[in-house]
Chains A and B, each alone.
Chain A
Amino acid sequence: MSTEPLIDFRGVTKRFGEHTVYENMDLQVFPGETLTVIGASGGGKSVCLKMMIGLLFPDAGQVLYRGQSVPDLDAKGLSLVRRKVAYVFQGGALFDSMSVAENIGYALREHTSQSEEQINKRALECLEMVGLSRAVANQIPASLSGGMKKRVALARSIAIEPEVILYDEPTTGLDPKNITRIGDMILKLQKELGVTSVVVTHDMPTAHKVSDRIAMLYECAFPFVGPVEKMWNSARAEVRDFIHGRIRRSRASGSFAGGSMLGLIPEGTTDGVS
């Protein structure tokens, strides 16, 4: 793994009104790896992804892509970054008014001078890569199932051959078979295309299956980042409880805390996961 991070968060703070999502947060994504971001629902994992491609900007700190500050890029620079970094949205975010093929070819129409024939050919190739038949190409997104929508979204993201793919909750709302399929797809794309992947999820089996490293969002930062097996066998109660889905009664508040664990965990020692 290269020592130069592809994406680098340095001391990032992000607030929405009174609510602080990140406070002095650091995180690095290295070329070729699959980093999975885990953490409680509503904790700000998607915010982290959106800051990577300038859909949201930090209030303080730096977000760097290949050493360039993403918030400081002009429209052209931002467009170039977005050409290299693809985003797979949680609900697919397919364009309702377009067919599946038009959705997949959108970035190619936007960024290249390829003919319609070439774009359609590429759309069909991408559909095959995500395991969908060519017959789907002319359908509209509303006629697809949840799992198919996610795969079309995946096909749309790879059409322009990005070097990074950001997956926002790729398995949420899917049946076990489709969860397995999406996990396999992430591994396959990484192997075949050599892309760097950042996966936001709270689906632990998928996280275990696809990740090289796991970063756990906890109290507005990523205090626990490490290789997947190290995180899986972590001695830290915060990490262990989240990964294994344990709910404990907070001694301080007397309330149950499972997802966020805020107010639950007393300060402890690190287990070597940095």
Chain B
Amino acid sequence: MNGIQRLGAITLSGLEWLGGLARMVFRVLRVGPRRPFALDDIAHQTVELGVRSLPIALLITLFIGMILTWQFGWGLIDFGATMALGNVVSLGLVPELVPTIIAITVGVKMAAGMTAELGSMKVTEQIDAVAALGADPIKKLVWPRICASTLTLPLLVGLGNVIALLGGMIVAEWIYGVPAGYFYETYIDELEPLNYLAAVVKGVLFGAIVGTIGCYQGFNTKFGTEAVGAATTDTVAATAIIIVIADFYLNMLFF
């Protein structure tokens, strides 16, 4: 196979994958928002995903807040402008770094978990068993997970932003001598409604991406346990890449 053929094959398989993803989204939208809404399943998945992800989300955002404040402080100190630390850090954290980093770490973890769980169900015929017992696997397994990740990620982004702000306040006060209260005021002053909106929209969209890719990969796992590992690895790569690309286009849209 020459280079052009290989490129063509990769392009075709990529398009086929995106087509499959779109077909699944269509099916979810068709069967999901109908009675019964599977609220118990959605609540169960939301708690599972949210609670399991809370420690890692808090830890990462705390350090992201501290690191970004440290780095900006290092740059601003030369200009004697450390008092503007809150203004600068807030624009980097709230609409951009916190949603994206949470999606790439916690979100990718969620997607990989979904693929591993559903992939294992696929290879042990549990998904077929759901269908054989007269239930719709999309409604029973995919719909609750996509809803849960779409709900959970923006909540984690909101909480993560609070923790990142705290991390920034700690470093601003202790390292650069900027009073924490002043850092907080300048941080909040700098933010416009659009920044908050961007954070929420990114959280929701990244959550939907996470759930969709995680479930799609799980449902399309081939045969055997090795396939579960391969599908999970592919999920990690695909979810991270699509989140970053989506983030770029969302930034174009918002700013």
Contact = CB atoms under 8 A, between A and B. Distances in A.
B13 to A, nearest CB: 15
B135 A50 contact: no
A50 B134 CA distance: 13
A208 B135 CA distance: 34
Interface in A69-85: 75, 79-80, 82-83
Contacts of A50: 128
B124 interface: yes
Contacts of B11: none
A79 B134 CA distance: 4
A110 B128 contact: no
Contact of A55 (B31, B126, B131, B135): B131
A116 interface: no
Contact of B132 (A55, A80, A95, A111): A55
A111 B125 contact: no
Interface in B102-120: 120
A96 B141 CA distance: 14
B134 A95 contact: no
B133 interface: yes
Which of B124, B130, B136 is packed against the most chain A CB atoms within 10 Å?
Answer: B124
Q: What's the interface size class on A, roughly?
A: 20 to 34
Contacts of A156: 133
Nearest to B31: A75
Nearest to A97: B117
Contacts of B131: 55, 82
B124 A53 contact: no
A133 to B, nearest CB: 24
A87 interface: yes
B129 interface: yes
Given A83-B134, A107-B134, A111-B134, A90 B125 contact: yes
B134 A93 contact: no
B134 A91 contact: no
B128 A106 contact: no
Contacts of A111: 134
B145 to A, nearest CB: 13
A89 interface: yes
A110 B124 contact: no
Contact of A53 (B121, B132, B136): B132
B41 to A, nearest CB: 11
A107 B132 CA distance: 9
B133 A110 contact: yes
A89 B133 contact: no
A213 B121 CA distance: 34
A93 B128 contact: yes
Interface string A54-67: 01000000000000
A50 B129 CA distance: 11
Given A82-B134, A110-B133, A95 B128 contact: no
A80 B124 CA distance: 24
A82 B133 contact: yes
A79 B135 CA distance: 7
A35 to B, nearest CB: 19
A89 B135 contact: no
Contacts of A96: 120-121, 126
Interface string B225-240: 0000000000000000
A95 B125 contact: no
B133 A55 contact: no
Contacts of B125: 89-91, 93
A93 B133 CA distance: 11
Contact of B128 (A79, A86, A89, A94): A89
Contacts of A90: 125
Contact of A75 (B120, B132, B133, B136): B136
Instruction: List 5 A-B pairs, minimum CB-CB distance, nearest first.
Output: A93-B129, A82-B134, A87-B132, A93-B125, A79-B134
Interface of B: 31, 120-121, 124-126, 128-136
Given A89-B125, A89-B128, A95-B129, 16 more contacts: A50-B128, A75-B31, A80-B134, A82-B131, A82-B133, A83-B134, A86-B132, A87-B129, A89-B129, A89-B132, A90-B125, A94-B129, A95-B130, A96-B126, A106-B133, A107-B133
